[in-house]
Amino acid sequence: MKYITLIITTFLLTIGYSQAEYLYGNCKGNISAGNFSKILKYCKEEADNDMTSRLAYGTALATEGRYSEAMPYLLTSKAKADQISIIDYYIGIIYYFGLATPSYPKSESLGLKYLQASKFLNDSSSEDSYSNSDSEPTPNLAKEMLKFIPELQNGTLAMLPYDYMIMQYTDPAHKCIEAGSNKEFKQAIELCKPVADKNLYAKRIYALSLLLNHNYSDAVIYLQEMIELYKNPKYEDKKALAIFSYGLGTIYYFGSAAPKYPQNKSKGLLYINQAVKDGAGIGQDFAKRFIEANKKIENGKINSIPEELKI
């Protein structure tokens, strides 16, 4: 997050205007000031006719978390390579994490394509493309982000570290996401509850935090919602589906949410098998081990599910 804020502010300065235009130009002046709320207020009309205003308006929308609205502007922006590398980074993150679904369906392959393009453009431009003489060179976000891709793909990393989220501090979901990223699950529950129905990523963290904090009775309904969501082709995420299916399955198997949700081993195994069949990543791996352990119980080889497979 701190990298995003730094880069976007300095990015706006590179396409900015004079102090006189700041005082009198409304849209163009506020680009120089890096004032996101005023860019959104003053640049919308000019965005259709002026490419600089279009760049700034699309970037401001994305920075405010209004990803679906931002995409038409980001996808049609034209600028020099160092500026486009930031736009490509935004587009890549939005596609990779499905932040603008269903208008722009989640696509990891398309997201990686834009991230790779951003990395190439950034590497090809000068070292301090996004910095001024008084600051250190800004990190190459695409290059840093791409380091996390293998962990995201194999399921050992559940979400992108908070510093790399494209969300401004004013977004009410940012504290929720920050707490979840820091594995502060009790705090995440408190912070995510008010925004869980407004922000898909916040709801995902809320469901996961309830599960990992052992608030099983409260978790069940949100886990069910996440499972249904990620079964939908528009929102497909096999790794997330496996984690939520496995979590809900273990709740039913052990009766962890009783009496509100009575113990039902058969129902639990259905969800755990769903994690195996339709999932991927670490959740699927745990589910496979759980099914094998349950078979050993049925065959009298062991007495109970190993502790490391319990949530």
Q: What is the pLDDT of residues 187-232, one digit of tens each?
A: 999 999 998 887 777 888 999 999 999 999 999 999 999 999 888 8
Confidence class for position 2, pLDDT limits 50, 70, 90: very low
Q: What is the pLDDT of residue 22?
A: 39
Average pLDDT of the chain is 78
Q: Which residues form the domain of 304?
A: 214-309
Q: Is the pLDDT assigned to residue 9 strictly greater than 90?
A: no
The percent of residues above 90 in pLDDT, for the chain, comes to: 34
User: Is residue 227 domain-shared with residue 124, that is, in the same domain?
Assistant: no
User: Is residue 150 domain-shared with residue 7, that is, in the same domain?
Assistant: yes
Q: What is the pLDDT of residue 278?
A: 93
Task: Classify residue 200: in a domain, yes or no.
Answer: no
Confidence class for position 63, pLDDT limits 50, 70, 90: confident
Task: Classify residue 34: in a domain, yes or no.
Answer: yes
pLDDT: which is higher, 29 or 100: 100
Q: What is the pLDDT of residue 60?
A: 83
Q: Is the pLDDT assigned to residue 134 strictly greater than 60?
A: no
User: Is residue 25 domain-shared with residue 131, that is, in the same domain?
Assistant: yes
Burial 167-203 (b: 16+ CB within 10 A, else e): bbeebebbbbbbbbbeeebebbbebbbebbeebbbbb
Count of structural domains, the chain: 2
Task: Classify residue 245: in a domain, yes or no.
Answer: yes
Task: Classify residue 58: in a domain, yes or no.
Answer: yes
Q: What is the pLDDT of residue 39?
A: 81
pLDDT in tens, 136-151: 334 466 777 787 778 7
